Amino acid sequence: MKASVKAPVNRRSRRRRRTLGVLVLGVAVVAGGSWAATRFIDSSEIMVREHCTAIVGSDSFRLDPEQASHAALISAVSMDRGLPARAASIGIATAVQESKLRNIDYGDRAGPDSRGLFQQRPSQGWGSEAQVMDPVYAANRFYQELELLVPDFEDLDITVAAQTVQRSAYPEAYADHEPEGRAYASALTGHSPAALNCVLKSPAGPGDAQAMTAALQQQLSSAWPQISDDGRTVTIPVSGPRGWALVQWAVANAQRFGVTSASFGGQGWVRADHGWAPATGTEGAVTVTLAG
pLDDT in tens, 48-94: 899 999 998 888 999 999 999 999 999 999 999 999 999 999 999 99
Mean pLDDT (whole number) for 196-201? 98
How much is the pLDDT for 5?
Answer: 42
Looking at residue 173, its amino acid is: A
Predicted confidence (pLDDT) at residue 172 exceeds the cutoff of 80: yes
pLDDT by residue (tens digit) across 104-148?
999 988 789 999 999 999 999 999 999 999 999 999 999 999 999
pTM of the full predicted structure?
A: 0.85
In terms of phi and psi (left: phi > 0; alpha: psi -120 to 50; beta: otherwise), the region of 192 is beta
**What values do phi and psi take at 289, rounded to 5?**
-110, 140
Q: What does the domain layout of the chain look like in residue ranges?
A: 64-188, 197-290
What is the Cα–Cα distance from 88 to 96, expressed in whole angstroms? 12
pLDDT by residue (tens digit) across 5-59?
444 445 555 555 554 444 333 433 343 444 444 444 455 678 889 999 999 888 8
How much is the pLDDT for 44?
Answer: 67
What is the Cα–Cα distance from 181 to 87, expressed in whole angstroms? 10
Cα dihedral value 151, 154, 161, 193, nearest 10: 130
